[in-house]
Amino acid sequence: MDLRVDQLAVARGGVTVLEGVSFALAAGQGLVLRGPNGIGKTTLLRTVAGLQPAAAGAVSVSPDAIAYAAHADGLKATLTVAENLTFWADVYGTRGVADALARMNLTELCDRQAANLSAGQKRRLGLARLLVAGRPIWVLDEPTVSLDRASVQLFGDVVRGHLGAGGSVLIATHIDLGLEAEVLELGPFKARGPREGGTSGAFDAAFGGDFA
Amino acid sequence: MIALLIRDMRLAMRAGGGFGLGLAFFLLVAVLVPLGVGPNSTVLALIAPGILWVGALLACLLSLDRVFALDFEDGSLDLLVTAPIPLEGVVAIKALAHWTVTGLPLTLVAPVLGVLLNLPAEGYVWLVVSLAVGTPALSVIGAFGAALTVGLKRGGLLLSLLVLPLYVPTLIFGAEVVKRGAEGMATGTPLALLAGITAGAAALLPFASAAAIRINLR
Whole-angstrom Cα distance, residue A53 to residue A58?
A: 10
- The answer, for B82 touching chain A at a CB cutoff of 8 Å, is yes
Indicate which of A10, A48, A87, A95 best probes the interface with B, i.e. most B CBs within 10 Å of its own CB.
A87
Can you tell me the mean pLDDT for A100-125? 89
Asked if the model's pLDDT at residue A205 lies above 70, the reply is no
User: Tens of pLDDT along A169-182?
Assistant: 999 988 877 777 88
Position B136 scores a pLDDT of 96
- The answer, for B74 touching chain A at a CB cutoff of 8 Å, is yes
User: Tens of pLDDT along B24-67?
Assistant: 999 999 999 999 988 888 899 989 999 999 999 999 998 888 88
Q: B3–A91: do the CB atoms touch at under 8 Å?
A: yes
- Chain A, residues 102-161, CB within 8 A of chain B, namely 129
Position B4 scores a pLDDT of 87
**Chain B residues near residue A87 by CB distance under 8 angstroms:** 3-4, 7
Q: A73–B75: do the CB atoms touch at under 8 Å?
A: yes
Question: CB of A105 within 8 A of CB of B96?
Answer: no
Whole-angstrom Cα distance, residue A85 to residue A109?
A: 12
Asked if the model's pLDDT at residue A208 lies above 70, the reply is no
**Chain A residues near residue B15 by CB distance under 8 angstroms:** 78
Can you tell me the mean pLDDT for A47-59? 88
pTM score, whole prediction: 0.87
Question: What is the pLDDT of chain A when averaged over all its residues?
Answer: 84
Q: A88–B79: do the CB atoms touch at under 8 Å?
A: yes
User: Tens of pLDDT along B149-196?
Assistant: 998 888 888 999 999 999 999 999 999 999 999 888 888 999 999 999
CB-based contacts of A149, cutoff 8 Å, min separation 6? none
Higher pLDDT among residues A153 and A180, named by residue: A153
ipTM of the complex: 0.83
Q: A74–B76: do the CB atoms touch at under 8 Å?
A: yes
**For B15, nearest residue in chain A (alpha carbons):** A78
Position A207 scores a pLDDT of 55
Question: CB of B52 within 8 A of CB of B78?
Answer: no
